[in-house]
Chain A
């Protein structure tokens, strides 16, 4: 059978993270996959060297559009470590609450995107509707929906009032009730099971070998979470458990994410009810002494790492960022081998890579030397149609 090479990507003006997948297929089966990254180089790390620490709190927040809070947490932890200061307990608790809210809204967003990719748009409407509740809380308490500007070196910037705590608890109760419906959908709905079960299997050994992170790693049945293994902020003071799943496929990722939302809601409720009294921040000097630090946090997509080197002035010498999607792209290239063309959108969306990015799909027939170009929507439609035909076979 003739081999075809399908370049997917690299970019689309509406999407955030351009990447290019070169996929070689035999009939309907992918035999080789190659990932090219670097289409989204913004020169941020060089820019960081020319900004003061105060400006950098807001600059690091703009590394990612969805997990913005985890990046600023990482940056502030690094600076606090070099300064040798610790934020007060109330500040740490508030920081942890925001990190968990971010996980809730990011996972709900992923749930909607996964539903859209599998042709189940009702799930998209439901989960994005519920995500608004969390975003409204963010808007009220931090001041903005996505780029919160809530973290600062030495604590957080705004305190939370009793009325806001009561409102947050009401929203958490509502979301907890709604999550029952999502877990029911994830475990019983035929569309979901048909499109995700047995798709994109990453074995435990491969997950370790390819250094997968986040929900992808936990869906490969490895109990590893930075929040548990290397606790930061207030994670060591609250009761919670790491969620894992042993079916290794995209369905496992769906289950892990759905259960993580429930766990995050319970953690937030505990923290809001047991919020320590006192200050939310301490004053810190503007100049940071010479030193270096590494900080890790568990972003919604996986482990996020920052390295900071300071030189005694008010600007850093070097700030290096390793975002979770970079670590997860390797295992996507591995998992795509042997998959079906119709499963490509689901596998790529499975790691939650901030993208669909399958803008242009060029199918080249190497023997007939013909080519056809698909856009992302056509690839999605192809996969949905293929599965519908399969259902009636």
Chain B
């Protein structure tokens, strides 16, 4: 029934490896290079077409009046980081980055303009 020593190979193999867990946020835990995180918005490239707001599945991207021009504003608490805005943008003004640590206190909601 009991077979001592069956696991010994797996246990010794683990001893030589680093722990999988990291002390986030004191240690960095970088995302993979292709990861879709917080977006960057380039105001100069934008032509106010509104395709990003039209295609946003979670209504996180809203067109608002900024300095007399219609510009998209991204409310990241609603965003699900699908990257549809990046794809719908005809001028490549929106670019997804690998930034993912967006935890915040109430009243300090992350917004990208």
Of B36, B57, B81, most A-chain CB atoms within 10 Å: B57
Question: Which one, B26-34, B42-50, B62-70, B103-111, is touching chain A?
Answer: B26-34
- Indicate if B80 sits at the interface (CB-CB under 8 A): yes
Contact call B32/A140, Cβ cutoff below 8 A:
yes
State how many residues of chain B have any CB contact under 8 Å with chain A: 23
Instruction: Report Cα–Cα, A190/B82, bound state, in Å.
Output: 45
Instruction: Please report which residues of chain B, range 5-41, place their CB below 8 angstroms from some CB of chain A when the two chains form the complex.
Output: 7, 10, 20, 31-36
- Indicate if A63 sits at the interface (CB-CB under 8 A): no
Q: Which residues of B contact A129 (CB under 8 A)?
A: 20
Residue in B1, B34, B80, B83 whose CB lies within 8 Å of A139: B34
Look across to chain A and name the residue whose beta carbon is closest to the beta carbon of B3: A190
Residue in A56, A139, A147, A391 whose CB lies within 8 Å of B35: A139
Shortest Cβ distance from B58 into chain A, in angstroms?
Answer: 8
Instruction: Report Cα–Cα, A51/B57, bound state, in Å.
Output: 8
Look across to chain A and name the residue whose beta carbon is closest to the beta carbon of B33: A140
- Indicate if B77 sits at the interface (CB-CB under 8 A): no
With A149-B82, A391-B1 known as contacts, the answer to whether A55 contacts B35 (CB < 8 A) is no
- Indicate if A381 sits at the interface (CB-CB under 8 A): no
- Indicate if A158 sits at the interface (CB-CB under 8 A): yes
With A58-B80, A58-B84, A391-B1 known as contacts, the answer to whether A52 contacts B55 (CB < 8 A) is yes
Look across to chain A and name the residue whose beta carbon is closest to the beta carbon of B34: A140
- Indicate if A142 sits at the interface (CB-CB under 8 A): yes
Contact call A149/B83, Cβ cutoff below 8 A:
yes
With A122-B7, A391-B1 known as contacts, the answer to whether A54 contacts B84 (CB < 8 A) is yes
- Indicate if B96 sits at the interface (CB-CB under 8 A): yes
Contact call B35/A157, Cβ cutoff below 8 A:
no
Query: Which residues on A are within 8 Å of B, measured CB to CB?
Result: 51-52, 54-59, 122, 126, 129, 136, 139-144, 147, 149, 152, 157-158, 190, 391
